[in-house]
């Protein structure tokens, strides 16, 4: 049988595994940081209307520049991000994964490197490799926060072309302060191998769940800073595949050089526009999830777990001598959480109150058995 490695694939892809959390059919799935609430019925109906309209014109290519959608995303960011942005500063793609891919195709690539502080979102490294960008793993402190001095030292030593800062960070849930972003931005510009500096990508996929305000205002006057966002989490629309960025208009112009023409289908644009009409309702679910996230933190501590403070819609908990065995034991109780390979720790996504109760019961049972 022919295997991948028998094919003439690129050397750097040999022996690698594709990204993917197990999609298992269990009663309680809290492993992929999805929003547990289905879209409300009035929104589902509105999507039907918008998509029907779009269907009448499916013989035509979509708006290549997604102008209406970018206008509405800019309005949303201006309303909630503490900083006014225009559609010229916003770009959208099929999930923030594609946003990140377009950024790396534009600012990374062969002979260039990207640096991120791990453990963090593993796709930063995987998309780097996929775009031929060298990946450098930067350090985190033992409590998973960023140690600014150690981070600056890594930047000075490796001089990356692209720097990833994930806040709130997946899988740890930790967020960074504006001061830290500014210090690392300056360090990246000072160390950059080229005269135009280094691109800093602030991944705020979980921004809406944070206790702190968005770091969006930092893009003002910093053309090499990009904030990346998604509708997969706060908008409860992981199936939609809609991510976006906010940055200087020049960054938006630059990604045009690599984006595929008509990358965002008319159906996607219509659906995202319908969801944006229902922003207020969807943000109420975010508030409920934040409350549940805080409850998970408190109750896990009461049970006797160690918990990393979380600004996201998930919580990192431990510590387990054998975290994979603990993952399996929780799964045996019907609850799927995530083993991200961080030794001693697991991650649970905040679900509905009933799902979270089931999860907490499962952890209690597992801890009791192990005593």
Position among 161, 203, 292, 355 found at the interface with ligand PMP (CB under 6 A): 203
- Cα–Cα distance for residue pair 161/148, rounded to 1 Å: 19
Helix (H, G, I), strand (E, B) or coil at 334: coil
Q: Which two tokens stand for residue 111?
A: 């002979």
Q: Which stretch binds ligand PMP (CB under 6 A): 134-142, 177-185, 207-215, 230-238?
A: 230-238
Element (H, E) at 286: helix 279-303
Q: Is 286 in the site for ligand PMP (CB under 6 A)?
A: no
Query: Min. distance of Cβ 190 from ligand PMP in angstroms?
Result: 26
Position among 35, 89, 97, 313 found at the interface with ligand PMP (CB under 6 A): 97
- Cα–Cα distance for residue pair 272/281, rounded to 1 Å: 15
- Cα–Cα distance for residue pair 337/21, rounded to 1 Å: 10
Give the dihedral sign, CA 227/232/233/236: positive
Which CB, 97 or 356, lies closer to ligand PMP? 97
Whether the CB-CB separation of 46 and 179 falls below 8 Å is answered with no
Position among 198, 205, 315, 337 found at the interface with ligand PMP (CB under 6 A): 205
Q: Is 33 in the site for ligand PMP (CB under 6 A)?
A: yes
Q: Label the pairing between strands 134-138 and 113-117.
A: parallel
365: left (phi over 0), alpha (psi -120 to 50) or beta: alpha
DSSP type of residue 135: E
User: Closest CB to ligand PMP belongs to which residue?
Assistant: 95
Query: Min. distance of Cβ 54 from ligand PMP in angstroms?
Result: 21
Per-residue x/- track, 99-128, ligand PMP (CB under 6 A): ----------------------x-------
Position among 138, 243, 318, 351 found at the interface with ligand PMP (CB under 6 A): 243
Q: Is 271 in the site for ligand PMP (CB under 6 A)?
A: no
Binding residues for ligand PMP, per CB under 6 A?
33, 95-97, 121, 166, 170, 203, 205, 230, 232, 238, 243
């Amino acid at each position: 049988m022919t295997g991948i490695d028998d094919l003439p694939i690129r050397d750097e892809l040999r022996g690698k595994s594709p990204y993917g959390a197990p999609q298992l059919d269990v009663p309680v799935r809290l492993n992929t940081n999805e929003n547990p609430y289905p879209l409300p019925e009035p929104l589902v109906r509105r999507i039907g209307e918008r998509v029907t309209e779009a269907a009448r014109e499916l013989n035509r290519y979509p708006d290549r520049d997604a102008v209406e959608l970018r206008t509405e995303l800019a309005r949303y960011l201006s309303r909630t991000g503490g900083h006014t942005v225009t559609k010229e500063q916003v770009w959208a793609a099929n999930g923030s994964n594609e946003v990140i891919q377009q950024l790396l195709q534009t600012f990374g690539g062969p002979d260039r490197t990207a640096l991120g502080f791990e453990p963090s979102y593993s796709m930063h490294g995987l998309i780097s490799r996929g775009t031929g960008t060298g990946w450098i793993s930067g350090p985190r402190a033992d409590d998973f926060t960023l140690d600014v001095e150690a981070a600056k030292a890594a930047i000075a030593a490796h001089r990356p072309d692209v720097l990833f800062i994930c806040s709130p960070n997946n899988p740890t849930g930790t967020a960074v302060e504006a001061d830290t972003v500014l210090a690392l931005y300056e360090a990246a510009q000072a160390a950059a191998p080229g005269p135009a500096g280094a691109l800093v990508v602030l991944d705020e996929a979980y921004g809406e769940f944070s206790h702190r305000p968005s770091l969006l205002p930092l893009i003002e006057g910093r053309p090499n800073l990009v904030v990346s966002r998604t509708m997969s989490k706060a908008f409860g629309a992981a199936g939609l595949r809609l991510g976006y960025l906010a940055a200087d208009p020049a960054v938006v112009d630059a990604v045009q050089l690599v984006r595929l023409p008509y990358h965002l289908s008319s159906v996607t644009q219509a659906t995202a526009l319908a969801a944006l009409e229902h922003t207020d309702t969807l943000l109420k679910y975010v508030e409920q999830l934040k409350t549940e996230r805080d409850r998970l933190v408190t109750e896990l501590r009461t049970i006797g777990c160690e918990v990393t403070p979380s600004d996201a819609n998930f919580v990192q908990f431990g510590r387990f001598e054998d975290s994979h065995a603990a993952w399996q034991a929780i799964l045996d109780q019907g609850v799927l959480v995530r083993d991200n390979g961080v030794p001693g720790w697991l991650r649970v996504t905040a679900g509905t109150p009933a799902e979270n109760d089931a999860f907490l019961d499962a952890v209690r049972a597992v801890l009791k058995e192990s005593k």
